[in-house]
Amino acid sequence: MKVAFVGLGVMGFPMAGHLAKAGHEVTVFNRSPQKAKAWAAQHPGKAAASVAEAAAGAEIVFLCVGNDDDVRGVVGEALPVMAPGAIIVDHTTTSAKVAREMADLAGQGGRWFVDAPVSGGQAGAENGQLTVMCGGDPAAFARAEPVIAAFAKATRLMGGPGAGQLTKMVNQICIAGVVQGLAEGMHFAKRAGLDPLEVAAAISKGAAQSWQMDNRWATMAENRFDFGFAVDWMRKDLGLVLDEAQANGARLDMTALVDGYYSEVQELGGNRWDTSSLVARLEK
């Protein structure tokens, strides 16, 4: 298919690469032109000088940008020039509200919008193993899903517009609790005089096992926090979660606490550390 990809960060750069490797005709755009040029030098496809140039005639436009306002801006530029009946697939983590707004806006122009936030981090993007949770029209999703499969191991339609974003919020709630538990377990193990790696070997085959333990325990023990998804982005996501909870009445006591703990990590200078850096505030 003729596709565009807007936003070439640590996630978008490899995701767009998988689309090109799958044989799609890919045009990319990034606010920093050098990233788009670097992508085009490494993959079949081309770099555009604007969102509109990238999206012109595209059947699917993929987004992986920063926040609600970024999505509004890109969609506003892309919709008028996309092919009739084309689909925007937004992999940005945003509010459910903006997903619904964009779906309405796309529909007014005879096009479609699917909110499709992802989980799996930088490694998942690079290995083409992301989990994608989607909201939108079933027919639009059915057309987009085989293309998304270029970089996803699992893609599921969760409901109408905004349902993908709400599901991603559940994902972030669960991750926040797991990482805080790991941080406190690590801190306790060290204070008790135990070898953290031996502790992990003992407990990771039982009920305490998790993806975070398997992939982050050893690096947490070494105070290495350079594995992709940054504290600043996690706080953005948790802010969306807490705003939505205020609107729907959900009680998220633990999530609010962990959001505050991440603010302490930011005060330590850990804005760009990955989310496993919660342990750093316990050992300062």
Q: Catalytic residue positions?
A: 168
Residue pair 98/106 in contact by the 8 Å Cβ criterion: no
252 touches 242 (CB < 8 A): yes
Instruction: Write the CA distances from 244 to 110, 168, 169, 253, integer angstroms.
Output: 29, 12, 9, 14
Q: How far apart are CA 57 and CA 118, in angstroms?
A: 26
Residue 210, beta-bridge partner list: none
Q: Which two tokens stand for residue 156?
A: 């599921």
Q: Which residues contact 90 (CB under 8 A, 6 or more apart)?
A: 62, 63, 71, 75, 99, 102, 113, 114, 115, 116, 117
Token pair belonging to 73: 């801006």
Spatial contact of 87 and 143, defined as CB atoms under 8 Å apart:
yes
